[in-house]
Chain A
Amino acid sequence: MVKKGPIFSFFALLIVLGVIIGFAVNPIIHKVNLGLDLKGGFEVLYQVEPLKAGQKIDKDAMSNAVAAINKRINVLGVSEPNISIENGHRIRVQLPGVKNEKRARQLLSTTAKLEFRDYKDRLMLDGSDLKPGKAKVAFDQMNKPMVTLQLKDPKKFANVTKKIASYAPAGNNQLVIWMDYKKGDSYQKEVGKKNHKFISNPGVDQELNTSDVQISGSFTMQEATTLKDLLNSGSLPVRMVEKYSTSVGAQFGQDSMHETIYAGAIAVAVIMLFMLAFYRLGGLIANLTLVIYMVIVMAVFVGLQAVLTLPGIAAMILGIGMAVDANIITLERIKDELRGGKSVLSAFKAGNQRALPTVVDANLTTIIAAAVLFVLGVSAIKGFAVMLLISNVVTFLTSVYGARLLLGLLIHSRILNDHPWLFGVKRSDIRGTK
């Protein structure tokens, strides 16, 4: 006799799952964080080096550097920046979707040490004399952009300008404004050049008792804005040297994402057809759990706020193959038992029971490899490992327990009794039949 209860539960379960998935898919897809290889953007690995002799690069120095970089990135308005410390003395900065790469790079790596020196390169004032966060872009009488600053102590400025003004008879009354002055730089050498290293060299004729300073070089609007942003976010406490950089054009990223997703979609379709052809009803159930699997994997991935990269998509597609593997192991076992002459119900029970340890061992070894990758890997590899780990864990949920639940309901209804062909077993293959 066919029992109607389990069949009803089976379809009720399918409808509930269908509705949940239907509502969940859109919000999940829109919340996926795309990595810069899919979105375009750039990534730089900086080596952190001491700014002054004797400066130690310890944990504090590193976190100060990261804080300073963070401030500068905020200026850029990048939505999903990712800054991480690697190997103790390297900083990886990822800026997906950044529009003006040139400006971003400049903003990031300039130490931004502003200094006022005299004609003989003697230090007069530096960044620590400025009121923090008070730099502004303004326009001079010629309507050209300039940057205005505020000093902490007008008296100090008065002293400095008095001294500079005293060089006037020899024509050396310039206050030279430097950005990132390096040892060996010399005003005398630079002043004759067209592209001089210093920002500007205004002449000072008298003592200025004020806290307002204007820097007017021959700025473009963008240069003035960059200078202002640099001054407001403060100078970097360390020197950063670019060791690795990669930048992906937005078009490139988009194309590779579309290509990879296209390949993945065809792959899923082919796998589903294969499972249907080979395992019939068992294959159908496997396909249903595969859909649920993909939704859960994406949901967990989004929930962890992981960043989807190209290797991540590849791991997901690979994970699909591995999830199906769990189904195959179980279904092959069930077929074995059916061929051995067992009834559908006891073949289902024995098959599931015997397949479980195999699936566990097979998946755990992969989890070990993925975990090692996660701990040791950097950036793109880490994304790959996260996806692989999630895939393997979710496989247990859907391909083992999900499939067992769904198929179990159908089998307990007895509707499948005497229909071993529904699992792809030929009657002639069953032991004891001719």
Chain B
Amino acid sequence: MELNEKMNYKHYNKFYDRFDFMKHRNVFFVISSVLIILGIVSLFVFKLNLGIDFSSGTRVDVQSTEAISIEKVDKAFRAMNYDPERPVVSGTHKNIATVRINEELNQHQIATIKSKIKAQFGVEPNVSTVSPQVGRDLAKNGLYALILASIFIIIYVWIRFEFLQGLTAVLALIHDAFFIVTVFSLFHIEVDILFISAVLTIIGYSINDTIVTFDRVRENIKLSRKRLSSIEEFGAIVNLSIRETLTRSLNTVLTVLIPVVLLLIFGSESIRTFTIALLVGLICGVYSSICIACPLWAVMKVRYLGKRKKKRTVQTQA
């Protein structure tokens, strides 16, 4: 189909076919800026609830054959002369309790805890213990992976598309990653080692959505067969491309959300933080690809072209 035909084509009858994504871009920019500021404030005020993977200490998962009470767990640990921090009960049958102890236990102490808890609750508990240095190394490693992945992705998109699209794609991606951190900080959800893999998955995934939309933008610009310069012209292309790919974006995010939500409801406790991070990231990812990456690219592109034009005029005058 020719571009003009597509633009005038009235058979698109989805609810979003009349929605002007470009017109509302400033609303989206403001929403995202507010969320980012909220995240920064939250990081300073509430900080991150780091699991023992990143700090140090011991974590014991107590499982019982029946529903478990915090008092009982607390008492059991106090009887062994430990000071358990915030026992949390979880599991579909409320039969799992997680306890943190702020000291690194040695193998003898762990063995004692295991046998005593097993005798009292019927199931052998999980015990993890971490020293601070290992936690720091893990966090450093995760951050390193994040930066490296971002750089490679920018280079790839730069080669396949253009630099500005690579840049906006990565900005959208950092926006998503930061939003996950914000949610975890605001709601005080424990950050463990799997959190890093969730954030990295989101990076791979959020970029996916952005790429599919940019791909359509690239195609529609080719179809337009003229040199675009104004924000209106780019806006029309961006709007059309978003609308054309929106069914796909929504369906895709739905097919990934289905397993994530089901993992959240039925899946194991041990990957809970992982699935929460994925859920938040997926929803934020589809929003940022559509409402942030594309409009932001159009704005940056027009500004860039304007600057170049100015430069040229100055040069010709001279």
Residues of A within 8 A of B (CB): 37, 40, 45, 87, 101-102, 105-106, 109, 242-252, 255-257, 259-260, 262-264, 266-268, 270-271, 274-275, 278, 310-311, 314-315, 317-318, 320-322, 324-325, 328-329, 332, 336, 339-340, 354, 357-358, 361-370, 372-373, 376-378, 380-381, 384-385, 388, 429-431
How far is it, in angstroms, between the C-alpha of A68 and the C-alpha of B251 when the chains are bound?
A: 54
Residue of A nearest to B65 (CB): A251
Chain A residues near B11 (CB-CB < 8 A) = 339, 429-431
The 6 closest A-B pairs by CB, nearest first: A256-B268, A249-B124, A321-B256, A369-B204, A246-B128, A366-B204
How far is it, in angstroms, between the C-alpha of A47 and the C-alpha of B263 when the chains are bound?
A: 35
How far is it, in angstroms, between the C-alpha of A268 and the C-alpha of B204 when the chains are bound?
A: 21
Kindly identify which residue among A109, A243, A315 contacts B107, using a CB–CB cutoff of 8 Å. A109
A372-B149, A381-B197 in contact; A260/B263 too (CB < 8 A)? yes
The answer to whether A249 touches B126, judged by C-beta atoms less than 8 angstroms apart, is yes
A314-B275, A321-B259 in contact; A45/B134 too (CB < 8 A)? yes
User: Measured between C-beta atoms, what is the minimum distance from B306 to chain A in Å?
Assistant: 29
How far is it, in angstroms, between the C-alpha of A40 and the C-alpha of B153 when the chains are bound?
A: 37
Chain B residues near A271 (CB-CB < 8 A) = 255, 258-259
User: Measured between C-beta atoms, what is the minimum distance from B123 to chain A in Å?
Assistant: 5
**Stretch of B137-145, B229-237, B291-299, B307-315 on the interface side:** B137-145
New contact pairs (12) apart from A245-B127, A366-B208, CB-CB < 8 Å: A106-B107, A242-B107, A266-B266, A278-B251, A317-B259, A328-B248, A329-B252, A361-B215, A362-B208, A365-B211, A378-B138, A384-B197
Q: Which of B114, B204, B219, B267 has the most CB of A within 10 A?
A: B204
The answer to whether A264 touches B259, judged by C-beta atoms less than 8 angstroms apart, is yes
Residues of B within 8 A of A (CB): 1, 9, 11, 13, 61, 63, 106-107, 110-111, 114, 118, 123-131, 133-134, 137-138, 141, 144-145, 148-149, 152-153, 156-157, 160, 193-194, 196-197, 200-201, 203-205, 207-208, 211-212, 215, 219, 244-245, 247-248, 251-252, 254-256, 258-260, 262-263, 265-271, 274-275, 278
User: Measured between C-beta atoms, what is the minimum distance from A304 to chain B in Å?
Assistant: 19
The answer to whether B268 touches A328, judged by C-beta atoms less than 8 angstroms apart, is no
User: Measured between C-beta atoms, what is the minimum distance from B263 to chain A in Å?
Assistant: 5
**What secondary structure prevails in chain B residues at the interface with A?**
helix
The 6 listed contacts between A and B (C-beta, < 8 Å) are: A262-B266, A264-B263, A268-B259, A358-B212, A361-B160, A369-B149
How far is it, in angstroms, between the C-alpha of A259 and the C-alpha of B153 when the chains are bound?
A: 35
The answer to whether B124 touches A244, judged by C-beta atoms less than 8 angstroms apart, is no
A243-B133, A431-B11 in contact; A249/B263 too (CB < 8 A)? no
The answer to whether A310 touches B270, judged by C-beta atoms less than 8 angstroms apart, is yes
A267-B263, A372-B152, A431-B9 in contact; A247/B127 too (CB < 8 A)? yes
Chain A residues near B107 (CB-CB < 8 A) = 102, 105-106, 109, 242, 245
